Amino acid sequence: MNFLETVVQEKKVLVGKKKKRMSADDLISTTDGQTKKNVFYDSFAQPLQDGIRIIAEIKRASPSRGTSKNAGVDLSRIISAYESGGARALSVLTERLHFNGSLDDLKLAKKLTTLPVLRKDFIVDAYELYEAKAFGADAVLLISEALDSTQIDEFVATAFSIGLDVLLEVHSVASYEKIEHVKGTLTGVNSRNLETLAIDLHRAREVVRIIPRERPVIIESGIFNRSDIELFLDDGVSGFLVGSLLMNSGDPAEVLRKLIHPGHANLQPASRIPEHCS
């Protein structure tokens, strides 16, 4: 099995175990009465015009790079740096086996910031949507290549019903065509192939160019300097999700400033590993 298939199978087993500890009905009851505020969606609804918008990610590890340099840093310090650097939202990677994430990180992040917070994971069951809401997420990532069309429609509808925005991720033209009928979500274009973990920004740009301009697009993965940002600025995108670069930096706030403001010198891509970086 490739990486994506492996993670999906692992997640199905994990969710099955979770349901035995806490039923779906009990979990759902914790989200009753929640209303949708669109705080995450609204932050990225319009194409970039007056500045770069970045979703700064908390990612303790990745399959290829191992443990992040800032994995042991207090979460409050990381979030403070992200806020100081100008992040518009946070992403919290909660997958445990390959990224060493947790729902506790999500819960704590929501307490520590007023920024909108995304739960980033390989969601395979509607149970995880209620879980995301219970732990404070404003939005969830859904990966089109990990779900069939029926699941995508059902999960998006469920997320909306409990007040979650959706970042609906695609990697290829084919996976975009699978979700182009879905309305009201942000579209994430991942430059990383989740089967091989290879990164290709130019392939991502090819996908972006077939997406209607009125559809908000977030570029995920592969952003390591201002030049990577500028590659997409004529394509009507709405923001960028950045993780490994920030989590391996000694000064995440300054890194964010260099990405956001063209007056700063470009970051040096010396530590860039385009074939595998997650």
Residue of 193, 220, 244, 248 marked catalytic: 220
Residue of 95, 131, 169, 178 marked catalytic: 169
CA distance 53 to 264: 16
Residue of 190, 191, 193, 249 marked catalytic: 190
CA distance 15 to 2: 20
Question: Is 205 buried (19+), middle (13-18) or exposed (0-12) by CB count in 10 A?
Answer: middle
**Would residue 12 show up in a list of annotated catalytic residues for this protein?**
no
**Would residue 59 show up in a list of annotated catalytic residues for this protein?**
yes
Q: Which amino acid is at 126?
A: A
Question: Is 38 buried (19+), middle (13-18) or exposed (0-12) by CB count in 10 A?
Answer: middle
Residue of 68, 193, 221, 238 marked catalytic: 221
Q: Which amino acid is at 206?
A: E
**Would residue 190 show up in a list of annotated catalytic residues for this protein?**
yes
CA distance 144 to 153: 10
**Would residue 5 show up in a list of annotated catalytic residues for this protein?**
no
Residue of 57, 95, 131, 145 marked catalytic: 57
**Would residue 220 show up in a list of annotated catalytic residues for this protein?**
yes
**Would residue 10 show up in a list of annotated catalytic residues for this protein?**
no
Residue of 11, 110, 120, 258 marked catalytic: 120
**Would residue 83 show up in a list of annotated catalytic residues for this protein?**
no
Residue of 59, 133, 178, 258 marked catalytic: 59
- Asked if 176 contacts 207 with a C-beta cutoff of 8 angstroms, the reply is yes
Catalytic residue positions? 57, 59, 120, 169, 190, 220-221
